[in-house]
Amino acid sequence: MSPSLDFWLEYASTYSYPAAARIGALARKADVKVRWRPFLLGPIFQAQGWNTSPFNIYATKGRYMWRDLERICGDLALPLKPAGQFPQNSLLAARVALIGFDHGWGEDFSNAVYRAEFGEGKNIAEQDVIAGLLAKLGVDAPRVLEQAQTSANKARLRSQTEEAQRLGIFGAPSFVTADGELFWGNDRLETALAWAKRT
Amino acid sequence: MSPSLDFWLEYASTYSYPAAARIGALARKADVKVRWRPFLLGPIFQAQGWNTSPFNIYATKGRYMWRDLERICGDLALPLKPAGQFPQNSLLAARVALIGFDHGWGEDFSNAVYRAEFGEGKNIAEQDVIAGLLAKLGVDAPRVLEQAQTSANKARLRSQTEEAQRLGIFGAPSFVTADGELFWGNDRLETALAWAKRT
Protein backbone atom coordinates (compact mmCIF):
# COMPACT_ATOMS: atom_id res chain seq x y z
CA MET A 1 0.00 0.00 0.00
CA SER A 2 1.29 3.43 -0.95
CA PRO A 3 1.77 5.96 1.84
CA SER A 4 -0.80 8.76 1.77
CA LEU A 5 -0.99 12.50 2.34
CA ASP A 6 -3.96 14.81 2.78
CA PHE A 7 -3.63 18.04 0.79
CA TRP A 8 -5.82 20.75 2.31
CA LEU A 9 -6.45 23.48 -0.24
CA GLU A 10 -8.49 26.68 -0.34
CA TYR A 11 -9.43 28.12 -3.72
CA ALA A 12 -8.89 31.72 -2.58
CA SER A 13 -5.37 30.99 -1.33
CA THR A 14 -2.48 32.28 -3.41
CA TYR A 15 0.16 29.77 -2.26
CA SER A 16 -2.28 26.90 -2.91
CA TYR A 17 -1.92 27.73 -6.63
CA PRO A 18 1.73 26.60 -7.03
CA ALA A 19 1.18 23.77 -4.53
CA ALA A 20 -1.71 22.38 -6.61
CA ALA A 21 0.37 22.71 -9.77
CA ARG A 22 3.33 20.86 -8.22
CA ILE A 23 1.82 18.13 -6.06
CA GLY A 24 0.74 15.69 -8.78
CA ALA A 25 4.16 15.03 -10.29
CA LEU A 26 6.02 15.18 -6.95
CA ALA A 27 3.63 12.70 -5.32
CA ARG A 28 3.86 10.26 -8.24
CA LYS A 29 7.66 10.44 -8.05
CA ALA A 30 7.54 9.82 -4.29
CA ASP A 31 4.88 7.12 -4.72
CA VAL A 32 2.60 8.88 -2.22
CA LYS A 33 -1.17 8.79 -2.69
CA VAL A 34 -2.62 12.30 -2.26
CA ARG A 35 -6.15 12.99 -1.09
CA TRP A 36 -7.24 16.53 -2.06
CA ARG A 37 -9.31 18.12 0.72
CA PRO A 38 -10.90 21.46 -0.27
CA PHE A 39 -11.93 23.61 2.70
CA LEU A 40 -12.72 27.23 3.54
CA LEU A 41 -10.30 29.45 5.42
CA GLY A 42 -12.93 32.14 6.06
CA PRO A 43 -14.47 30.53 9.17
CA ILE A 44 -10.98 29.74 10.53
CA PHE A 45 -9.80 33.33 10.01
CA GLN A 46 -13.00 34.63 11.58
CA ALA A 47 -12.38 32.47 14.63
CA GLN A 48 -9.09 34.31 15.16
CA GLY A 49 -10.70 37.69 14.67
CA TRP A 50 -9.88 38.36 11.00
CA ASN A 51 -12.59 39.37 8.55
CA THR A 52 -10.29 39.25 5.51
CA SER A 53 -6.95 37.74 4.52
CA PRO A 54 -4.00 38.54 6.82
CA PHE A 55 -2.27 39.70 3.62
CA ASN A 56 -4.81 42.54 3.48
CA ILE A 57 -4.68 43.27 7.22
CA TYR A 58 -0.85 43.43 7.28
CA ALA A 59 0.01 45.43 4.17
CA THR A 60 3.79 44.93 4.34
CA LYS A 61 3.34 41.19 4.53
CA GLY A 62 0.81 41.40 1.70
CA ARG A 63 3.22 43.25 -0.58
CA TYR A 64 5.87 40.66 0.19
CA MET A 65 3.50 37.76 -0.56
CA TRP A 66 2.61 39.08 -4.02
CA ARG A 67 6.29 39.54 -4.91
CA ASP A 68 7.19 36.13 -3.49
CA LEU A 69 4.36 34.52 -5.47
CA GLU A 70 5.60 36.28 -8.60
CA ARG A 71 9.06 34.73 -8.12
CA ILE A 72 7.61 31.27 -7.41
CA CYS A 73 5.24 31.35 -10.40
CA GLY A 74 8.08 32.67 -12.56
CA ASP A 75 10.25 29.66 -11.65
CA LEU A 76 7.38 27.27 -12.42
CA ALA A 77 6.31 29.10 -15.61
CA LEU A 78 2.84 29.54 -14.12
CA PRO A 79 0.96 32.61 -15.38
CA LEU A 80 0.28 35.27 -12.74
CA LYS A 81 -2.19 38.05 -13.39
CA PRO A 82 -4.36 38.49 -10.31
CA ALA A 83 -7.16 40.97 -10.77
CA GLY A 84 -9.40 43.04 -8.63
CA GLN A 85 -10.65 41.51 -5.46
CA PHE A 86 -8.50 39.55 -3.04
CA PRO A 87 -9.39 37.21 -1.52
CA GLN A 88 -12.07 36.01 -3.90
CA ASN A 89 -15.16 34.20 -2.68
CA SER A 90 -14.23 30.54 -3.11
CA LEU A 91 -17.43 28.95 -1.83
CA LEU A 92 -18.84 27.82 -5.18
CA ALA A 93 -15.48 26.51 -6.41
CA ALA A 94 -15.05 24.44 -3.24
CA ARG A 95 -18.55 22.98 -3.47
CA VAL A 96 -18.06 22.05 -7.13
CA ALA A 97 -14.63 20.57 -6.37
CA LEU A 98 -16.18 18.09 -3.90
CA ILE A 99 -18.32 16.73 -6.74
CA GLY A 100 -15.25 16.66 -8.98
CA PHE A 101 -13.22 14.56 -6.55
CA ASP A 102 -16.10 12.05 -6.46
CA HIS A 103 -15.87 11.67 -10.22
CA GLY A 104 -12.18 11.86 -11.07
CA TRP A 105 -11.96 15.41 -12.44
CA GLY A 106 -11.30 17.23 -9.14
CA GLU A 107 -7.58 17.69 -9.66
CA ASP A 108 -7.95 19.11 -13.19
CA PHE A 109 -10.79 21.35 -12.02
CA SER A 110 -8.70 22.66 -9.10
CA ASN A 111 -5.79 23.56 -11.33
CA ALA A 112 -8.19 25.20 -13.81
CA VAL A 113 -9.74 27.28 -11.01
CA TYR A 114 -6.35 28.55 -9.79
CA ARG A 115 -5.21 29.35 -13.29
CA ALA A 116 -8.40 31.29 -14.07
CA GLU A 117 -8.25 33.16 -10.77
CA PHE A 118 -4.56 33.98 -10.45
CA GLY A 119 -3.30 33.48 -13.99
CA GLU A 120 -6.10 35.13 -15.94
CA GLY A 121 -7.69 37.55 -13.49
CA LYS A 122 -11.12 35.92 -13.57
CA ASN A 123 -13.58 35.96 -10.70
CA ILE A 124 -14.23 32.40 -9.55
CA ALA A 125 -17.24 33.54 -7.52
CA GLU A 126 -19.13 33.91 -10.82
CA GLN A 127 -21.17 30.87 -11.80
CA ASP A 128 -20.45 31.52 -15.50
CA VAL A 129 -16.71 31.33 -14.90
CA ILE A 130 -17.04 28.00 -13.09
CA ALA A 131 -19.45 26.69 -15.75
CA GLY A 132 -16.90 27.61 -18.43
CA LEU A 133 -14.14 25.66 -16.65
CA LEU A 134 -16.43 22.65 -16.27
CA ALA A 135 -17.40 22.72 -19.94
CA LYS A 136 -13.72 22.73 -20.94
CA LEU A 137 -13.23 19.60 -18.82
CA GLY A 138 -16.05 17.92 -20.74
CA VAL A 139 -18.28 17.88 -17.68
CA ASP A 140 -22.06 18.52 -17.68
CA ALA A 141 -21.88 21.98 -16.07
CA PRO A 142 -25.59 22.62 -15.31
CA ARG A 143 -25.93 19.21 -13.68
CA VAL A 144 -22.77 19.60 -11.58
CA LEU A 145 -23.70 23.11 -10.46
CA GLU A 146 -27.04 21.75 -9.28
CA GLN A 147 -25.37 18.87 -7.39
CA ALA A 148 -22.88 21.31 -5.86
CA GLN A 149 -25.67 23.41 -4.36
CA THR A 150 -27.64 20.62 -2.69
CA SER A 151 -27.87 20.91 1.06
CA ALA A 152 -26.06 17.59 1.44
CA ASN A 153 -23.07 18.87 -0.50
CA LYS A 154 -23.06 22.21 1.35
CA ALA A 155 -23.03 20.28 4.63
CA ARG A 156 -20.14 18.17 3.38
CA LEU A 157 -18.00 21.28 2.80
CA ARG A 158 -18.92 22.66 6.23
CA SER A 159 -17.94 19.41 7.89
CA GLN A 160 -14.67 19.24 5.95
CA THR A 161 -13.87 22.80 7.08
CA GLU A 162 -14.64 21.82 10.68
CA GLU A 163 -12.30 18.85 10.31
CA ALA A 164 -9.53 21.18 9.10
CA GLN A 165 -10.05 23.33 12.16
CA ARG A 166 -9.92 20.31 14.47
CA LEU A 167 -6.63 19.27 12.84
CA GLY A 168 -5.10 22.62 13.82
CA ILE A 169 -5.03 23.96 10.26
CA PHE A 170 -4.75 27.76 10.20
CA GLY A 171 -3.64 28.48 6.62
CA ALA A 172 -3.43 27.00 3.14
CA PRO A 173 -2.05 24.97 1.61
CA SER A 174 -1.58 22.50 4.45
CA PHE A 175 -0.56 18.87 4.37
CA VAL A 176 -1.41 16.21 6.94
CA THR A 177 0.19 12.77 7.04
CA ALA A 178 -1.52 9.55 8.12
CA ASP A 179 0.16 9.85 11.53
CA GLY A 180 -1.20 13.37 12.03
CA GLU A 181 1.84 15.54 11.22
CA LEU A 182 0.81 18.97 9.95
CA PHE A 183 2.87 20.91 7.42
CA TRP A 184 1.89 24.40 6.34
CA GLY A 185 2.79 26.13 3.10
CA ASN A 186 3.74 25.40 -0.49
CA ASP A 187 7.38 25.38 0.67
CA ARG A 188 6.69 22.40 2.96
CA LEU A 189 5.30 20.13 0.22
CA GLU A 190 8.52 18.17 -0.31
CA THR A 191 9.05 17.74 3.45
CA ALA A 192 5.47 16.54 3.90
CA LEU A 193 5.87 13.96 1.11
CA ALA A 194 9.13 12.73 2.66
CA TRP A 195 7.44 12.43 6.07
CA ALA A 196 4.51 10.51 4.52
CA LYS A 197 6.95 8.05 2.94
CA ARG A 198 8.76 7.27 6.16
CA THR A 199 5.63 6.53 8.22
CA MET B 1 33.96 40.37 -6.43
CA SER B 2 31.70 37.82 -4.71
CA PRO B 3 27.96 38.47 -4.76
CA SER B 4 26.59 39.52 -1.39
CA LEU B 5 23.53 38.96 0.78
CA ASP B 6 22.29 40.77 3.88
CA PHE B 7 21.10 38.40 6.59
CA TRP B 8 18.67 40.16 8.93
CA LEU B 9 18.43 38.29 12.21
CA GLU B 10 16.65 38.82 15.51
CA TYR B 11 17.96 37.02 18.60
CA ALA B 12 14.45 36.31 19.94
CA SER B 13 13.33 34.69 16.67
CA THR B 14 12.96 30.94 16.62
CA TYR B 15 13.46 30.40 12.89
CA SER B 16 16.58 32.59 12.95
CA TYR B 17 18.23 29.81 14.99
CA PRO B 18 18.40 27.20 12.18
CA ALA B 19 19.05 29.95 9.60
CA ALA B 20 22.10 31.20 11.54
CA ALA B 21 23.33 27.62 11.92
CA ARG B 22 22.99 26.94 8.19
CA ILE B 23 24.00 30.13 6.43
CA GLY B 24 27.78 29.95 6.89
CA ALA B 25 28.35 26.68 5.04
CA LEU B 26 25.70 27.34 2.38
CA ALA B 27 27.08 30.80 1.60
CA ARG B 28 30.64 29.49 1.33
CA LYS B 29 29.45 26.79 -1.06
CA ALA B 30 27.58 29.37 -3.14
CA ASP B 31 30.48 31.82 -2.92
CA VAL B 32 28.19 34.54 -1.58
CA LYS B 33 29.46 37.05 0.97
CA VAL B 34 27.00 37.39 3.85
CA ARG B 35 26.62 40.51 5.97
CA TRP B 36 24.90 39.71 9.28
CA ARG B 37 22.47 42.50 10.27
CA PRO B 38 21.03 42.13 13.78
CA PHE B 39 17.82 44.09 14.37
CA LEU B 40 14.83 44.16 16.70
CA LEU B 41 11.40 42.91 15.65
CA GLY B 42 9.67 44.48 18.68
CA PRO B 43 9.26 47.98 17.18
CA ILE B 44 8.13 46.47 13.85
CA PHE B 45 5.54 44.26 15.55
CA GLN B 46 4.36 47.22 17.63
CA ALA B 47 3.86 49.26 14.46
CA GLN B 48 1.35 46.64 13.27
CA GLY B 49 -0.42 46.58 16.61
CA TRP B 50 1.20 43.53 18.23
CA ASN B 51 2.68 43.72 21.72
CA THR B 52 4.13 40.20 21.63
CA SER B 53 5.05 37.56 19.05
CA PRO B 54 2.28 36.57 16.62
CA PHE B 55 3.04 33.00 17.73
CA ASN B 56 1.66 33.97 21.14
CA ILE B 57 -1.27 35.97 19.76
CA TYR B 58 -2.37 33.15 17.43
CA ALA B 59 -2.10 30.03 19.57
CA THR B 60 -2.79 27.50 16.81
CA LYS B 61 -0.02 29.00 14.70
CA GLY B 62 2.24 29.06 17.75
CA ARG B 63 1.73 25.36 18.44
CA TYR B 64 2.48 24.62 14.81
CA MET B 65 5.66 26.73 14.88
CA TRP B 66 7.13 24.87 17.87
CA ARG B 67 6.42 21.49 16.27
CA ASP B 68 7.81 22.68 12.92
CA LEU B 69 10.94 23.99 14.65
CA GLU B 70 11.33 20.64 16.42
CA ARG B 71 11.32 18.84 13.07
CA ILE B 72 13.76 21.33 11.53
CA CYS B 73 16.18 21.22 14.46
CA GLY B 74 15.89 17.42 14.50
CA ASP B 75 16.98 17.24 10.87
CA LEU B 76 19.93 19.55 11.57
CA ALA B 77 20.88 17.84 14.86
CA LEU B 78 20.45 21.20 16.61
CA PRO B 79 19.47 20.95 20.28
CA LEU B 80 16.01 22.32 21.11
CA LYS B 81 14.97 22.92 24.69
CA PRO B 82 13.26 26.31 24.89
CA ALA B 83 12.39 27.39 28.41
CA GLY B 84 10.04 29.76 30.09
CA GLN B 85 9.53 33.07 28.44
CA PHE B 86 8.89 33.52 24.72
CA PRO B 87 9.85 35.78 23.14
CA GLN B 88 12.91 36.62 25.21
CA ASN B 89 14.23 40.16 25.47
CA SER B 90 16.96 40.24 22.84
CA LEU B 91 18.11 43.83 23.27
CA LEU B 92 21.40 43.13 25.06
CA ALA B 93 22.32 40.28 22.71
CA ALA B 94 21.73 42.48 19.67
CA ARG B 95 23.81 45.34 21.08
CA VAL B 96 26.68 42.99 21.92
CA ALA B 97 26.46 41.37 18.49
CA LEU B 98 27.09 44.71 16.79
CA ILE B 99 30.41 44.92 18.63
CA GLY B 100 31.13 41.32 17.71
CA PHE B 101 30.64 41.92 13.99
CA ASP B 102 33.13 44.79 14.24
CA HIS B 103 35.72 42.40 15.63
CA GLY B 104 35.22 39.12 13.81
CA TRP B 105 33.41 37.11 16.49
CA GLY B 106 29.85 38.15 15.64
CA GLU B 107 28.93 34.97 13.82
CA ASP B 108 30.19 32.67 16.58
CA PHE B 109 28.51 34.84 19.19
CA SER B 110 25.19 34.72 17.31
CA ASN B 111 25.20 30.95 17.08
CA ALA B 112 26.16 30.72 20.76
CA VAL B 113 23.24 33.00 21.70
CA TYR B 114 20.72 30.91 19.78
CA ARG B 115 22.05 27.67 21.19
CA ALA B 116 21.91 28.99 24.77
CA GLU B 117 18.40 30.39 24.28
CA PHE B 118 16.68 27.63 22.30
CA GLY B 119 18.99 24.67 22.86
CA GLU B 120 19.72 25.06 26.58
CA GLY B 121 16.77 27.06 27.88
CA LYS B 122 18.86 29.99 29.10
CA ASN B 123 17.60 33.56 29.35
CA ILE B 124 19.65 35.75 27.02
CA ALA B 125 18.28 38.90 28.67
CA GLU B 126 20.56 38.15 31.65
CA GLN B 127 23.91 39.92 31.53
CA ASP B 128 25.58 36.92 33.22
CA VAL B 129 24.43 34.59 30.46
CA ILE B 130 25.81 36.89 27.74
CA ALA B 131 29.03 37.38 29.73
CA GLY B 132 29.42 33.60 29.94
CA LEU B 133 29.06 33.22 26.17
CA LEU B 134 31.61 35.99 25.58
CA ALA B 135 34.09 34.42 27.97
CA LYS B 136 33.82 31.11 26.12
CA LEU B 137 34.66 32.95 22.90
CA GLY B 138 37.80 34.30 24.55
CA VAL B 139 36.45 37.84 24.49
CA ASP B 140 36.90 40.44 27.27
CA ALA B 141 33.30 40.30 28.52
CA PRO B 142 33.22 43.32 30.88
CA ARG B 143 34.81 45.55 28.24
CA VAL B 144 32.43 44.41 25.49
CA LEU B 145 29.38 44.77 27.71
CA GLU B 146 30.44 48.35 28.43
CA GLN B 147 30.95 49.10 24.72
CA ALA B 148 27.60 47.52 23.93
CA GLN B 149 25.77 49.89 26.27
CA THR B 150 27.27 53.16 25.02
CA SER B 151 24.73 55.55 23.57
CA ALA B 152 26.50 55.41 20.21
CA ASN B 153 26.05 51.65 20.03
CA LYS B 154 22.43 51.84 21.19
CA ALA B 155 21.76 54.37 18.44
CA ARG B 156 23.40 52.08 15.91
CA LEU B 157 20.97 49.28 16.73
CA ARG B 158 18.02 51.67 16.55
CA SER B 159 19.09 52.89 13.15
CA GLN B 160 19.65 49.34 11.89
CA THR B 161 16.12 48.44 13.03
CA GLU B 162 14.75 51.50 11.22
CA GLU B 163 16.59 50.40 8.10
CA ALA B 164 14.98 46.95 8.34
CA GLN B 165 11.58 48.60 8.55
CA ARG B 166 12.32 50.80 5.51
CA LEU B 167 13.30 47.67 3.56
CA GLY B 168 9.84 46.21 4.20
CA ILE B 169 11.09 43.58 6.65
CA PHE B 170 8.27 42.25 8.86
CA GLY B 171 9.74 39.04 10.27
CA ALA B 172 12.97 37.17 10.88
CA PRO B 173 15.09 35.78 9.50
CA SER B 174 15.00 37.89 6.34
CA PHE B 175 17.47 38.11 3.48
CA VAL B 176 18.00 41.08 1.17
CA THR B 177 20.06 40.92 -2.01
CA ALA B 178 22.17 43.77 -3.42
CA ASP B 179 19.36 44.54 -5.89
CA GLY B 180 16.81 44.85 -3.10
CA GLU B 181 14.99 41.51 -3.29
CA LEU B 182 13.53 40.51 0.05
CA PHE B 183 13.19 36.89 1.14
CA TRP B 184 11.55 35.95 4.42
CA GLY B 185 12.10 32.80 6.43
CA ASN B 186 14.65 30.10 7.08
CA ASP B 187 13.04 28.15 4.23
CA ARG B 188 13.95 30.91 1.75
CA LEU B 189 17.70 30.88 2.51
CA GLU B 190 18.68 28.73 -0.48
CA THR B 191 16.48 30.78 -2.85
CA ALA B 192 17.99 34.04 -1.55
CA LEU B 193 21.54 32.75 -2.08
CA ALA B 194 20.66 31.66 -5.61
CA TRP B 195 19.15 35.09 -6.33
CA ALA B 196 22.26 36.84 -4.94
CA LYS B 197 24.46 34.76 -7.24
CA ARG B 198 22.55 35.61 -10.39
CA THR B 199 22.51 39.39 -9.83
The complex scores an ipTM of: 0.92
Would you call A167 an interface residue with chain B, using a CB distance cutoff of 8 Å? no
Interface test with A, best of B55, B57, B60 (most A CBs within 10 A): B60
Least-confidence region, from A18-27, A80-89, B60-69 = A80-89
Give how far the C-alpha of residue B164 lies from the chain's centroid of Cα atoms, to the nearest Å.
Answer: 13
- Determine, for residues B68 and A183 on separate chains, whether the beta-carbon distance falls below 8 Å: yes
Contacts of A97 (CB under 8 A, 6+ apart): A11, A36, A38, A106, A109, A110, A113
Which chain B residues have a beta carbon less than 8 Å from that of A48? 58, 60
- Per-residue CA distances from A169 to A41, A44, A176, A180, A193 (Å): 9, 8, 9, 11, 17
Band the pLDDT of A6: cuts 50, 70, 90: very high
Q: Give residues 141 to 160 of B whose Cβ lies within 8 Å of A.
A: none
The nearest CA of chain B is from the CA of A149 a distance in Å of 31
Which among A48, A60, A183 has the least Cβ separation from residue B170? A60
- Per-residue CA distances from B154 to B94, B151, B171, B185 (Å): 10, 5, 21, 26
Average pLDDT of span A90-118 = 98
Q: Indicate whether B109 pLDDT > 90.
A: yes
Cβ(A106)–Cβ(A9) below 8 Å? no
Determine how many CB atoms are found less than 10 A away from the CB of residue B120: 13
Closest-CA residue to B183 (of A48, A65, A32)? A65
pTM attached to this predicted model: 0.95
Note the pLDDT of residue A47: 85
Cβ(B185)–Cβ(B191) below 8 Å? no
Average pLDDT of span A59-71 = 95
Which chain B residues have a beta carbon less than 8 Å from that of A171? 61
Cβ(B9)–Cβ(B110) below 8 Å? yes
Least-confidence region, from A118-127, B51-60, B119-128 = B51-60
The nearest CA of chain A is from the CA of B170 a distance in Å of 7
Average pLDDT of span B107-114 = 98
Q: Indicate whether B57 pLDDT > 90.
A: no
Q: Indicate whether A50 pLDDT > 90.
A: no
What residue in B sits closest to A187 (Cα-Cα)?
B187
Rounded to whole angstroms, how far apart are CA atoms A74 and A57? 26
Which among A68, A170, A185 has the least Cβ separation from residue B58? A170
Percent of chain B with pLDDT over 70: 100
Rounded to whole angstroms, how far apart are CA atoms B81 and B123? 12
Rounded to whole angstroms, how far apart are CA atoms A189 and B4? 29
Average pLDDT of span A25-39 = 97
Band the pLDDT of A93: cuts 50, 70, 90: very high
Note the pLDDT of residue A57: 85
Least-confidence region, from A70-74, B31-35, B43-47, B159-163 = B43-47
Rounded to whole angstroms, how far apart are CA atoms A59 and A63? 6
